[in-house]
Structure 1
Amino acid sequence: MVTTPLPTPLDLDAWFDLPEDELERHELVAGYVTMSPGESYENRRVGTRVMLAFHRVLGDDYLPVTDLDIVISEVPATVRRPDVVIAHGDAVRGAKRVRGRDVEVVVEIVSPGSVETDWLRKRSEYAAAGVPTYVVVDVRDTPRVAVFDRVEAGSYVDPTGDGRVGVVTVAGREVVLRVEELQA
């Protein structure tokens, strides 16, 4: 019988030593490289609208960015690349990666291949990493937006809002995300 050896898990140094183009659509989960599903046109459009909503309220002090790695944990090494990250400009300007505690908001836009990951796994990971607010935008069958901004015992508790409108507070300013505006 022939067996295939299991891959060796990577640590953060080995992950960040990989060529940039190899990291583009990948995340590191418990030391193992995982491929993220490609974003559909619809998800990219929703992501752009999310970024514009934050920019309209927060201006240039807080930047909505994509292609930014969030270090979730060192051991086991886990690095996520959210759809949208909102952080103070000083924390992310020119950065390729940050810690969860250095950002204000992480937004994931659900894809058919990421339902469980976005709604469950990343929800617990971002809470453990110290991300103050986690937003899930799901414009599939029953469109909804969920804002997780309360952490108890290391996990986000039930989302605030009614699913049609989510309100995110950053630096005392409220950003309102309406499902019908995000998917229009």
Structure 2
Amino acid sequence: MSVMEWPHDLLSLDDWINLPETPEHQVEVVEGVLVVAPRPMPFHQSAVTRLGYLINEKLADEYWALSEVEIVLSEAPLTVRSPDVVVVPSSLVETNPPRFHTGDVRLVVEVLSEGTRRTDQVTKFSEYAEAGIEHYWIVDLDSPVTLITYRLIEGDYENFGEFSGVAELDFAGTPLTLDLNALTTRRAQRP
């Protein structure tokens, strides 16, 4: 095990960019302070991968769902999060940026897991709203798998629906049908 020197001051975006990769940890920055957690467990990762795939299959071509990319919520003080899934314009994805800014992000999805429940439901809920991200969805993998959708209305998230089983949604004028039970199976369910 190697020991790395962690910063002793609040991080700037340049500091963040120059940090070494840590594949064994999930690292984010909140108001200039590093937040380090173990990587999510395989069941969580499988659900995130499946969710991104299912959303991409239904999205209009102008949008793209990506898993675990960095979004800069604020540069001063620096807050960088790596949501489980984000939806951004395809034209921007094609430029292959190292991270996205909140103005680029149309939807953030967090999948609850042990150790992140409060962060996803309280802290990130308020951070994403303050950053102006229009849609926020929270998935709970505990049986039955559920999805709560929020939409930003006058600066606050309002509950736009709670689903289990099959969720019939609308995103940017495109109907999305998501089989939530498919998030916890080994193979995507075929029609």
1:29-57 per-position Cα deviation (integer Å, ceiling 9, x unaligned): 11011113311111111112211221111
- Structure 2 unmatched runs, 5+: 1-6, 186-191
Q: How far apart, in 1, do the equivalents of 2:54 and 2:143 lie?
A: 23
Q: CA RMSD in A?
A: 2.2
Aligned pairs, number: 176
Q: How far apart, in 1, do the equivalents of 2:103 and 2:124 lie?
A: 15
- Structure 1 unmatched runs, 5+: 1-5
Structure 1 residues 166 and 155: CA distance shift in structure 2, 3 A: farther
Report the equivalent of 1:3.
none
1:108-152 per-position Cα deviation (integer Å, ceiling 9, x unaligned): 111111000011111111111121111111112553111111333
Q: How far apart, in 2, do the equivalents of 1:40 and 1:160 lie?
A: 29
Structure 1 residues 10 and 108: CA distance shift in structure 2, 3 A: same
Report the equivalent of 1:25.
26
Higher strand share: 2
Alignment of 1:135-174 (within 5 A): 135-140=137-142, 143-152=145-154, 154-157=155-158, 159-164=159-164, 166-174=167-175
Q: Percent identity?
A: 32
2:71 touches 2:80 (CA, 8 Å); kept in 1? yes
Report the equivalent of 1:95.
97
With normalisation by structure 2, the TM-score equals: 0.82
Alignment of 1:8-87 (within 5 A): 8-19=9-20, 21-22=21-22, 25-58=26-59, 60-87=61-88
Report the equivalent of 2:114.
112
CA deviation after TM superposition for structure 1 residue 172, in Å? 1.0
1:145 touches 1:163 (CA, 8 Å); kept in 2? yes
Q: Detail structure 1 runs of 4+ shifted over 4 Å in the superposition.
A: 165-168
Structure 1 residues 82 and 30: CA distance shift in structure 2, 3 A: same
Higher helix share: 1
